[in-house]
Homo-oligomer: A and B are copies of this chain.
Amino acid sequence: MDWPKGIGGLCYGGDYNPEQWPEEVWKEDVALMRRAGVNLVSVGVFSWARLEPSPGSYDFAWLDRVLDLLHGAGVRVNLATPTASPPPWFGLAHPDALTVTADGTRLTHGSRDTYCVSAPAYREASARIAGELARRYRGHPALAMWHVHNEYGTGCHCDHAAAAFRTWLRGRYGTLDALNDAWTGSFWSQHHSAWEQVMPPRATQYLPNPAQTLDFRRFLSDEMLAHFREQKAVLREHTPDVPATTNFVLGDWVPVDHRRWAAETDLVAVDHYPAADPPQETAFAADLARGWAGGRPWLLMEQAVVTYTGLRMIAKRPGEITRLSLSHIARGSRGVMFFQWRASRGGAEPWHAGMVPHAGEDSRIFREITELGALLPSLEEACRAPVEAGAAVLWDAEAGWALQAPGLPSTGLDYTRAVRQAHRVLYRGGVTADVVHPSADLSAYRLVLVPALYLISDDDAANLRRHVEGGGTLVVTYLSGVADLCARVRTGGYPGALRDLLGVRVEESHPLPPGTALYVSTRLPDADLSRLLGLEPSPLELVRRGEWVFAVNHGDDEQQVPDGPLLPPGGYAVRRARQG
């Protein structure tokens, strides 16, 4: 397991935005950081307008003072390139580089992420500010790592994007004939006779072409990755020994294939904001991050002290911050980071909360933050042991994108929900699972779950066959295997690529309305799927890492740890298992 040298042990801290506060607050900040045990902060994520107040004119003095101050307090810096939010002057200087929506609306600055990642002006400005930062802070003793951009995930439909999309498609398909075949151009007269006819999925009259939409998401992922690579190369040039990453954001809407990206980062970093069911969502997100990291350590870069349910922002219950943090660490995170250090007063997210809340240091939240900071050093050894997983849940971003198309057999399809359900029944049954891609080496797993894997390549189908031939168990749910990588249905009977392996041939599909009694051939309620897999749900989370066992009681009753203590409600224990 290689964890970048120089980052050190368990990271603890969060986004630190000193530019939002007068300088006298900075001193209080570092004093409180010391009290809380903070050792790493992400600085400068949205500071472009402060660093480059007008084109080509830079102001680093304030940031110099911040880094010196932090260094003096023993806090290291995860320094961000600020490219996720160009300053207001950028859009005025380069209106062609502002985002255009599918219906042709050109967006205006006033939020964040308002740019086209394919626009030359944006790419140049990004590389330039990254270079300036690297030149300025190479050798600064506080600099621990680079935080490139922030939560990549924004697409555009402008002519720059169209041109880049065509270039990408030429690379993927070579010829127009191959593109027309992949996109089934014969349907609805969509055969292209020249490359300039190929468009991003802009507003059109009726149902869009699902293969075009799918390829556009693939393109966006690669295009943003190119932007990341450019910045990383600039940073590497000046600071060859400083690791660089970017924080992945989870969400169905994100057109980023994080699995492919992971190989390009020096460490996998993940933001995670659970909503409806924090313990289970946390376990899933952490297992997914570990899958992206190929089983290696990764870093929880952002979480919050509140839960945002989509409708309400609710302060986490007493101890919940610690319990969810432990769940992340148990599942491979080498640290616990928050958005953000100090809750903002104004701007768009004053209610997003912070480690230092509006109420200040004299608050339950800051006391819990301090307690967590005191706890973490005791986990240094445990978190270097490998996470042990006997089961795997397959997950593929492209399959999920394909299931977002209209015109599928049911409007109720939800890939993330399907994968999370599969993971959840294992989680509730006490089984630690890896969440991995269908192409992963499956030999270590007794049980592999394949939920709703609509898209699958022939090679990956063969990989599943090898798993079964090797004695493993495979559980496949509805719609898996049905389509190829161009989202074309495999004919001859469903489930297409998995028909022979499963010995099943399905002729027709009867999507049932919610509430109807369900058969095994379709989505199962958790309890039934648990029963099918012989699992008994439990609120006690147990994760084994080598000889270490992490036990977290997320429930409201006492829970007995096998061969271990009786945990009170909300209690947890990390202990070395008895040998033999």
In the complex formed, the residue of B with least CB distance to A509 is B315
Residues in B neighbouring A86, C-beta threshold 8 A: 189
Most buried by B among A189, A359, A505: A189
Choose one: B203, B493, B509; the contact of A105 (CB below 8 Å): B203
A107 interface residue per 8 A CB criterion: yes
Choose one: B89, B101, B189, B411; the contact of A82 (CB below 8 Å): B189
A228 to chain B minimum Cβ distance, whole angstroms, is: 19
A207 interface residue per 8 A CB criterion: yes
Contact between chains at A346 and B486 (CB < 8 Å):
yes
Contact between chains at A350 and B489 (CB < 8 Å):
yes
A135 interface residue per 8 A CB criterion: no
CA–CA, A183 and B347, complex, Å: 7
CA–CA, A192 and B90, complex, Å: 11
Which one of A262-270, A402-410, A541-549 is at the B interface?
A402-410
Most buried by B among A82, A108, A203: A108
Contact between chains at B110 and A358 (CB < 8 Å):
no
A492 interface residue per 8 A CB criterion: yes
Give A residues with C-beta under 8 Å from B. 17, 19-20, 46-50, 53-54, 82, 85-89, 92, 99, 101, 103-114, 154, 183-194, 196-199, 201-212, 310-315, 343-352, 357-360, 363-365, 406-412, 486-494, 505-513
CA–CA, A425 and B210, complex, Å: 42
CA–CA, A188 and B339, complex, Å: 13
Most buried by B among A105, A192, A348, A359: A348
What secondary structure prevails in chain A residues at the interface with B? loop
Contact between chains at A311 and B88 (CB < 8 Å):
no
Residues in B neighbouring A357, C-beta threshold 8 A: 507-508
Contact between chains at B509 and A360 (CB < 8 Å):
no
* A358-B493, A508-B357 known; A204+B89 contact, CB < 8 A: no
* A204-B111, A346-B211 known; A508+B360 contact, CB < 8 A: no
* A350-B488, A360-B492 known; A510+B314 contact, CB < 8 A: yes
A176 to chain B minimum Cβ distance, whole angstroms, is: 11
- How many copies of the chain does the oligomer comprise? 3
Residues in B neighbouring A492, C-beta threshold 8 A: 358-360
Contact between chains at B205 and A107 (CB < 8 Å):
yes
* A108-B203, A190-B110, A208-B111 known; A197+B311 contact, CB < 8 A: no
Contact between chains at B489 and A345 (CB < 8 Å):
yes
Choose one: B47, B208, B313, B363; the contact of A110 (CB below 8 Å): B208
Contact between chains at B364 and A508 (CB < 8 Å):
yes
Contact between chains at A202 and B347 (CB < 8 Å):
no
Residues in B neighbouring A313, C-beta threshold 8 A: 409-410, 509, 511
Contact between chains at B89 and A186 (CB < 8 Å):
no
Contact between chains at B312 and A412 (CB < 8 Å):
yes
Choose one: B88, B188, B193, B347; the contact of A187 (CB below 8 Å): B347
Please name 20 further chain A to chain B contacts, defined as beta carbons within 8 Å, in addition to the given A92-B196, A107-B203, sorted by A numbering.
A46-B189, A49-B191, A54-B194, A85-B188, A99-B205, A109-B199, A110-B208, A110-B209, A111-B207, A113-B206, A207-B348, A312-B410, A312-B412, A314-B510, A315-B508, A345-B489, A351-B489, A359-B507, A364-B508, A365-B507
CA–CA, A99 and B184, complex, Å: 23
Residues in B neighbouring A54, C-beta threshold 8 A: 193-194
CA–CA, A46 and B185, complex, Å: 11
Choose one: B87, B103, B185, B359; the contact of A493 (CB below 8 Å): B359
Contact between chains at B408 and A351 (CB < 8 Å):
yes
CA–CA, A408 and B507, complex, Å: 48
Residues in B neighbouring A507, C-beta threshold 8 A: 357, 359, 363-365
A295 to chain B minimum Cβ distance, whole angstroms, is: 34
Contact between chains at A85 and B20 (CB < 8 Å):
no
A78 to chain B minimum Cβ distance, whole angstroms, is: 18
Contact between chains at A494 and B345 (CB < 8 Å):
no
Contact between chains at A53 and B489 (CB < 8 Å):
no
Most buried by B among A50, A114, A314, A411: A314
In the complex formed, the residue of B with least CB distance to A348 is B207
Q: Can you show 11 pairs from A to B with CB atoms below 8 A apart?
A: A82-B189, A88-B197, A108-B199, A110-B199, A114-B205, A184-B345, A187-B346, A312-B409, A313-B409, A343-B489, A358-B492
A499 to chain B minimum Cβ distance, whole angstroms, is: 10
